[in-house]
Amino acid sequence: MKKMLEKQIEEKVNTYAKEQGFLVYKFTSPQRAAVPDRLYITPRGKVFFVEFKREGQKPTPAQQREHDRLRCGGVMVYVIDNVAAGKAMVDAMRLMC
């Protein structure tokens, strides 16, 4: 079975999140490289970041450093490499927050 591309996983998870009432923004930073791909806001206002990867891939060292920096500041960062994990993340965040 062919593995899904990162953009395909991202598209399906983003669509699912929007259907659940989340706001989803593409995130870029002109001042900092290796930031996570998306900023999600739950229906209750909780904010977190998501880094999408192709199935089985891990963040680059620069991405991992940025994720660690955000997490040290109390920000939630998820790394998602498949649609099922992405939907489970959305469901957990919807119930938690």
Find the CATH number of the domain harbouring 53.
3.40.1350.10
Q: What is the mean pLDDT of the chain?
A: 95
Angle ∠(11,82,78) on CA atoms, nearest 5: 85
Residue range of the domain that includes 61:
6-96
In a domain, 1, yes or no: no
What's residue 97's pLDDT? 55
Q: In terms of pTM, does the model score above 0.85? A: yes
In a domain, 36, yes or no: yes
Strand order in the sheet with 38-41: 23-26, 38-41, 47-52, 77-80
* pLDDT tens for each residue of 1-53: 678 899 999 999 999 999 999 999 999 999 989 999 999 999 999 999 999 99
Q: Are 38 and 10 in contact (CB under 8 A)?
A: yes
What's residue 2's pLDDT? 78
What's residue 95's pLDDT? 87
In a domain, 37, yes or no: yes
What's residue 7's pLDDT? 96
